[in-house]
Homo-oligomer: A and B are copies of this chain.
Amino acid sequence: MAARRISSVISRSISLRPLSSSVVSQGNRTSLGSEVQRFSTAAALEEPIIPSVKVNYTKLLIDGKFVDSASGKTFPALDPRTGEVIADVAEGDAEDINRAVSAARKAFDEGPWPRMTAYERSCILLRFADLVEKHNDEIAALESWNSGKPYEQSAKTEVPGLARLFRYYAGWADKIHGLTVPADGPYHVQTLHEPIGVAGQIIPWNFPLLMFAWKVGPALACGNTIVLKTAEQTPLTALYVSKLFLEAGLPPGVLNIVSGFGPTAGAALASHMDVDKIAFTGSTDTGKIVQELAAKSNLKPVTLELGGKSPFIVCEDADVDRAVELAHFALFFNQGQCCCAGSRTFVHERVHDEFLEKARARAQRRTVGDPFQKGIEQGPQIDTEQFQKILKYIRSGIESDATLECGGDRFGSKGYYIQPTVFSNVKDDMLIAQDEIFGPVQTILKFKEVDDVIKRANATKYGLAAGVFTKNIDTANRLTRALRAGTVWVNCFDVFDAAIPFGGYKMSGIGREKGIYSLNNYLQVKAVVTQLKNPAWL
């Protein structure tokens, strides 16, 4: 069904496929945007389009029931197009985390979930994926309403991607094999790969549903129970889809969702003595706190997926038009709100000037506006804090004498829209070349030698991803090995298929998510050694 839905919408070029969402391979986009506002059209946005979905789930999900928070407090979920309230949501804090962990603990220690067969668990995940597909358009509408991302991106890439991830991990559930192990003596040795127990998971606001999938998919496939804290900006879709999980037959207490804030609910989860594992996606600074809280409490193992300042390297043999499009996509996708954004565009000096001119033109062509409007590439940033932070970095770029090629200001007068912005003459030591901006701000740097660009690309505390654009196989192979990054995309970017592991070197994180690698995050290895009497072989 996902394939059918998607193939019916190929007029949009974000993706022909559920998850391999590279824009560029789909051909040119110059025919797009004629019906929508360009960012240079700074006129006030029209009235926001009303999404066709009702907000039915605003309470915490604990032990299979939607409940108010213990304190009775709520907080508003906002529409980034306007800053207005979509719904008031129950605000979980430490006491709600305690209730959720108790439910998850009981579901793990005594409940049916780890004791049903892997095949039965697998079937529940598959039924969930089916229900996600059935409700694709409402889920997508809710996701875009609360996060500001283009509706077509939600409907054609991200919600199908949610179903895709759960089908992928449903397939793993009954393929988690331990090993039998050769011994040095008369012993029968085997390893059991057991569920780790109660998993705490904290997800960010930039891809609420995909981050839900990356976290929940492998944890459930391995037989664990979960307490998941959503980002305070985007609590709505996780609640919606968790309801579908109950419909799919997930036993109560296996998946608990607590909406709330980091310093209260998040810290309580990371510090909890009855949580056996914590996984966090977000900023490096917060990741360090999560790791510290885990260390100070019960030494629960930690998976971290953190910030980045990923290089996108355009080599001298590049087809400039394709390189421009890919580099544009690498940075501007999702309003620039990607941890793996290609946020340092290194361009070889031989093609630099042409690249720059075309990159500026491409950014100027970028269609900004209401994410529910057809053909829109860029919606608003998530909230006022991010909005202000990005504008501050733009000012910093100008003050540090980078050349502002286009953009540089807010778009319109309402909500959190920012003009697609391009800086040239960027130097490695400028703040805009070192910090994670997390917005639609492309910084273009020039390079001459491959040796040199390797050093510069690696001269960062981050190591999440890298893009390489070249036709030369030796250059591609050389860069691929030398770049200290968890993902290297060669002549593509942001390909997020379910089977591809994702995660960081250095301060971009610990561990890998997606693919076979993510299973390790949710398993304990138990060695079982049994004495043998009269073995036929050793």
Contact = CB atoms under 8 A, between A and B. Distances in A.
A183 B528 contact: no
A525 B184 contact: no
A292 B299 contact: no
A5 interface: no
Given A299-B510, A516-B179, A187 B524 contact: no
A273 B488 CA distance: 24
Given A18-B184, A185-B497, A488 B299 contact: no
Given A187-B20, A295-B288, A527 B509 contact: no
Interface residues of A, number: 73
A488 B527 contact: yes
Contact of A487 (B298, B306, B511, B529): B529
Contacts of A287: 299
Copies of the protein in its oligomer: 2
A288 B284 contact: no
Interface string A480-507: 1100011111111001011111110111
Interface pairs A-B: 9 shortest CB-CB = A291-B295, A20-B185, A490-B530, A491-B531, A492-B531, A184-B497, A17-B185, A292-B295, A487-B527
Contact of A529 (B489, B506, B511): B489
Contacts of A495: 183, 185, 187, 189, 529
Interface of A: 16-20, 22, 25, 164, 179, 181-187, 189, 191-192, 194, 276, 284, 287-288, 291-292, 294-296, 298-299, 301, 304, 306, 461, 476, 480-481, 485-492, 495, 497-503, 505-507, 509-512, 515-517, 520, 524-531
Given A292-B292, A294-B291, A481-B192, A184 B20 contact: yes
Contacts of A276: 506
Given A488-B528, A501-B525, A505-B526, 14 more contacts: A179-B516, A181-B499, A183-B495, A185-B495, A187-B492, A187-B497, A298-B507, A299-B304, A301-B510, A487-B527, A488-B529, A489-B530, A491-B530, A515-B527
Nearest to A179: B516
